Homo-oligomer: A and B are copies of this chain.
């Protein structure tokens, strides 16, 4: 799977999104991360593995604690993709609006509804 797909897939789960949200506040160990969830440490570790494979978090080699750290710059991958197509979609709506405005103006002109406006 490509990196961007892995990032989107990693965030397609409310527990993993919540972990990411909490890691924006501070690094945390697996057991600290597990506290609020009604799931096993194993399940939390599995979620972390998905986030780690997507590059969203890293774990230091500090053998005892091994705190999980958020790699927030990975968000940029997604925002770049989203913004690009959000912009394109908006530009398309603007073009459609412009065409509709022209059609309306032509209509008004033909029926004489807007004669005053056109003459000024």
Contact = CB atoms under 8 A, between A and B. Distances in A.
A99 B5 CA distance: 36
Interface residues on A, range: 20 to 34
Provide the main secondary structure of the chain A interface. Answer: helix
**This chain's copy number in the assembly:** 2
B24 A89 contact: yes
Contacts of A17: 4-5, 81
Contact of A79 (B4, B5, B82, B88): B82
B12 A88 contact: no
A85 to B, nearest CB: 5
A85 B21 contact: yes
A26 interface: yes
